[in-house]
Structure 1
Amino acid sequence: MYIDKQEYSFSTCWNIKRHTTGSSMIQEIKSLGFRRVELNYNVTADMLRTIEPMIERGEIGISSVHNTFPHVADPDYGTDSVLLGFDDEPRRKRAIELLLRSAEYAHRYGAQAVVVHPGEVPFEYNVDEELKKIYHDQGKDSPAYQDLWQYMLGKREADSAHYLKRIQESLEEVCEISEQRGYGVNYGIETRSRCYQMPTLHEAATLIDSLKGAPLGLWYDIGHGMMMDRMGLYDNVLEANALIHNIVGVHIHETVGLSDHWCPYVHSNDLSFFDSFLDIIEHSPVKVYELKSACTPEDIDASHELITNRITQRQAERFSE
């Protein structure tokens, strides 16, 4: 029997590929000691038919849902898309409708937040994939990496203001309609895993500042931030902690090299660096583990114990000062 994870939640991304029914997927997560789950974007309407009775009976709580929810097969509205930044108005409106649908489900299930991938600066090919290959094969300081990185950064910086404005307009519309409908959920714009995707932490701060008073904040994905820092996009520790009071939710996982969704401390064997994010985890209203299927129940339990014990220790030290 694994320890009770109390207010911590767990994403279905860990085991969704192992299950054909939603109820068995949730039961496996419950067996880890979690009382709450985040329903991710691969959860289908069929799966919800067996999950919803569990929610209604109080067998599981829903912390958050991940847009686009339930699953939408169209890649235009998937997780790696221009999405809220589309110039094509019908597609942008459709993206808004789908985000509001996610919020409706979140409201129905008593969730606190919707995790949102706002968009990206589009490239003709997956420049992030090529950069990561060069990073692994030749290193970040290699001329090949630095040349391609400068090209990517130049295009990203040249085009980002346009897409940021489109995303802002979409989020304004979403928040206004959401409040009119009384959904009562926060929208968390998530730090992303590809260097051309939005937002950076600076872009997130710009969006949040521009929509002051709206139910909008940062969904801070720790592992993605670590990855973008290593690639050279921003100073993850400094900028994330500066936004601590704007965070509405956090995805807890660690990146080893440029491979993400590992258990903090356990898989990196680094027992100090992840401490940089403990204040964020402590203060975040929604705390969700987002781990890959390779993480075992024993790994998850050990990682959780390290995180919670260290947070408790830091609290005790502050109290004694």
Structure 2
Amino acid sequence: MEDKGAFSFSTCWNIKRHTSGSGMLQEIRDLGFRRVELNYNVTEEMLATIEPMIERGEIGISSVHNTFPHVRDPDYGTDSVLLGFEEEEKRQRAIQLLVRSAEYAQRYGGEAVVVHPGEVPFPNDISRELGQIYNGEGRDSEVYRSKWAELMERRAAYSAGYVQTITESLDEVCNQAASKGLNVRFGIETRSRPQQIPTLAEARTIIRALKGAPVGIWYDTGHAIMMDRLGLYDSVGEMEGLMDDIVGVHIHETIGLSDHWCPYVHSKDMDFYDAYLPMIERAQVKVYELKAACRPEEINASHQLLAAKLAGRGQAGC
């Protein structure tokens, strides 16, 4: 496989196939990637064989994904209130775990930490219900509009409070990181469920409130496409005012509401994903975050298409 240059690749792709960290990273190296993002399922046991590879210079670390290493407690998993906990003890635990992730990123030479900030909790799994209605009856159906109104009503009532708490938590994280001499950025990720924070408007609010802090947006392209399709925000138009704040991107395409596919290759649409090239171009850290179903030859073909399109944009701007 050709060398993928500065592009990084998430262990999301193959972590379930491996118990050995070194074997997992070697498989990614065989794809032509010299940098990886260590995702939130990487365990301390895996790090025992990953760290020697980093020390020998066999692999570079672009970023780590909070909470890192893996935390088995679902309260601090990827789909939880996290930095928005009202209970002070839980919120402080979430803060310490994020600082720990940043410490690992710095130790490994990483540039950033991917952060799931939190969500507006619902008593029911409303994102699953919306997905089922979207796939079955469509976004224009009355049943979808009714369920969407339910989501937005609760979001409108509670999101501002959670955004404020998340902002305060990130401020504490940044202060602690600075006191420890950590030089990494925190990217708040666009999420895959409509009750989750942030929307692009919420991201703008948080980033502006923390002006001067190492906090920006982690623009997950596939998740943004999903939220656009569901109706939460305009994934391209609402990026105005945020382009200078992109810390990193997760590169993957969404087919319907199914994400983590190879751009261009799986959708067979050679134009749609072009709208997200400016975000990829502006990102400090560029990470492919693909599902296990993506085959090496598909990953390579997707990267060739993406790299050629990005190169064409650069030439057009000369």
1:261-298 Cα deviation digits (max 9, x unpaired): 00001111111011111111112110000000000001
Q: Which residue of 2 aligns with 1:201?
A: 200
SS of equivalent residue, structure 2 residue 222: helix
SS of equivalent residue, structure 2 residue 317: helix
| Higher alpha-carbon deviation: 241-250 or 105-114 | 241-250
SS of equivalent residue, structure 1 residue 236: coil
| Higher alpha-carbon deviation: 242-251 or 200-209 | 242-251
Partners of 2:36 and 2:214 lie apart in 1 by: 21
| Higher alpha-carbon deviation: 5-14 or 235-244 | 235-244
Report the identity percentage: 64
The alpha carbon displacement at 1:242 in A equals 4.0
The alpha carbon displacement at 1:240 in A equals 2.6
Q: Which residue of 2 aligns with 1:42?
A: 41
SS of equivalent residue, structure 1 residue 68: coil
AA aligned to 1:46 is: E
Q: Which residue of 2 aligns with 1:92?
A: 91
TM-score, normalising length: structure 1: 0.98
Q: Cα distance 1:241–1:260, how it changes in 2: closer, same or farther (>3 A)?
A: farther
After TM superposition, the structure 1 = structure 2 runs for residues 239-318 of structure 1, keeping only pairs within 5 Å, are 239-240=238-239, 242-318=241-317
Q: Which runs of 4+ in 1 moved over 4 A?
A: none
The alpha carbon displacement at 1:124 in A equals 0.4
Partners of 2:124 and 2:239 lie apart in 1 by: 29
AA aligned to 2:31 is: L
Q: Which residue of 2 aligns with 1:109?
A: 108
Q: Which residue of 1 aligns with 2:55?
A: 56
Partners of 1:241 and 1:295 lie apart in 2 by: 32
Q: Which residue of 2 aligns with 1:188?
A: 187
Q: Which residue of 2 aligns with 1:178?
A: 177
Structure 1: any 5+ residue segments left out of the alignment?
Answer: none
Q: Which residue of 2 aligns with 1:80?
A: 79
1:89-145 Cα deviation digits (max 9, x unpaired): 000000001000000100100100000000000100110000000100111111111
SS of equivalent residue, structure 1 residue 100: helix
The alpha carbon displacement at 1:241 in A equals 5.1
Partners of 1:240 and 1:271 lie apart in 2 by: 22
Is the contact made by 1:241 and 1:280 (CA closer than 8 Å) also made in structure 2? no
Partners of 1:314 and 1:67 lie apart in 2 by: 32
Is the contact made by 1:85 and 1:163 (CA closer than 8 Å) also made in structure 2? yes
SS of equivalent residue, structure 1 residue 217: strand
SS of equivalent residue, structure 2 residue 247: strand
SS of equivalent residue, structure 2 residue 269: coil
RMSD: 0.7
